[in-house]
Structure 1
């Protein structure tokens, strides 16, 4: 069985990674790609403008959580030298996880039983901010899930190898002052092989490296089942 099939068959129902009391009917997809013309109507380098856009988007649709972004090519990363290079093929602008946009301090949940692999506050402009990586071993298959853009309290006092249970609260969403300067959201990513990374893993790929990262970081919607 290949890894994508394995992930899809882990659960017949959506796996919850955020907001335990919010019904899935309150989720709505959102397009944040460079092709979305609505993003040209505000300053996408400003986290406050992003928050206003996300909040209005949810309000207009009477929803609580906006989701999407896997392999989405985004222009937001041009604001940060952390992602940009002079070589277009090497600039990182293709998103490797699913983002779930909602209010700061929303609880974040472990996708599966596992242990804390690592954690770190990634403080580059546009980076994850506080981040937790969990390690899972299910039916003999080892893989990892990453939870980025958390609050600082989420990693305070955390210890490696601490056991976690599926749907256990492992952290809370951070605000723009700590989460890399974004509107509050969870970056959720599945990683087959962490290599030597600790508390961090690329969440955005260049076109040049996309084949590798697409293989190592399959679509989180295989388990979220939000489409």
Structure 2
């Protein structure tokens, strides 16, 4: 049986952000610990961080900034959610982030049904979140869409079917999305276990091997050049 990664390689690209924005208007962004520019930004202040994102987009004449898979970040240092004293620090991002203004349309990556949704509250959390379930050549997997608007989950129902590139939601602002500049956290999950409306999007170095295997690079689907 082919791997999910092999199946993804045979598909046309998927879009999860407003389909009217071409990939030519996307630009990569480095939010890793090695980016010295971030030392001058108050990462605890979503407004300051949003200004940093907007400046990056303006400099690169782009509408969407993307990146972050398998990226070690300092973004989570001030958030208790990621720093349990009994466990190793979780600071490695295992989804892809797409940074663009609040209210932007979020699209289903592939044909799928709503598996779970919730308002995951708390600083650093996903805020409103939707998880879709997919089947491809008899293999089941999931896609997670985090940091959505509250309106995105008001009328949604389990098992509702969405077609590839159909609008699923809109992006939330910092007041609902866990305190971040507006962006979509998009993640692929092979084995979701007992999770229903949430799944770790950041892991520790100790668990990295497992999560990289269970959560393949989302760009295998998106195919952003």
Give the TM-score of the pair, scaled to structure 2.
0.97
Give secondary structure in 2 for the equivalent of 1:209: helix
Structure 1 residue 86 displacement after superposition: 3.7
Distance (whole Å) between structure 1 residues aligned to residue 7 and residue 67 of structure 2: 21
The equivalent of 1:56 in structure 2 is 55
Alignment partners' CA distance in 1, 2:200 and 2:216: 13
- Give 1:10 deviation, angstroms: 2.4
Q: Distance in 2 between matches of 1:40 and 1:102?
A: 22
Alpha-carbon RMSD:
1.1
Give the corresponding residue for 1:25. Answer: 24
SS of match in other structure, 2:80: coil
1:10 corresponding residue in structure 2: 11
Q: Counterparts of 1:205-220 in structure 2 under 5 Å?
A: 205-220=203-218
Distance in 2 of aligned mates of 1:129 and 1:73 = 22
* Counterpart in the other structure of 2:96: 98
From 179, 182, 185, the counterpart of 1:184? 182
Equivalent residue number for residue 148 of structure 1: 146
Q: Which runs of 5+ in 1 are unaligned?
A: none
In the alignment of these two chains, the number of paired residues is 224
Distance of 2:94 and 2:214 partners within structure 1: 10
**How far does residue 180 in structure 1 lie from its aligned partner after superposition?**
0.4
In structure 1, the partner of 2:129 is 131
Instruction: Give CA-to-partner distance per residue, 1:21-61, whole Å, 9 cap, x none.
Output: 11110000000001100001111111111100000100111
Give SS of 1:82's match.
helix
CA offsets per residue over residues 112-150 of structure 1, 9 Å max, x none? 001000001100210100000000012211110000000
Q: Is the 8 A contact 2:14 2:164 kept in 1?
A: no
* Distance in 2 separating the partners of 1:86 and 1:200: 22
- After TM superposition, where is structure 1 displaced by more than 4 Å over at least 4 residues in a row? none
1:51-130 residue pairs with structure 2 within 5 A?
Answer: 51-86=50-85, 90-130=88-128
Q: Which residue of 2 aligns with 1:199?
A: 197
Q: Secondary structure at the match of 1:77?
A: coil
Cα deviation, 1:69-112, whole Å, max 9, x if unaligned, reads 0000000100100001346x711100010000001000000000
Alpha-carbon distance between aligned partners in 1 of 2:84 and 2:110, rounded to the nearest angstrom: 36
**What is the TM-score normalised by the length of structure 1?**
0.96
Aligned to 2:171: 173
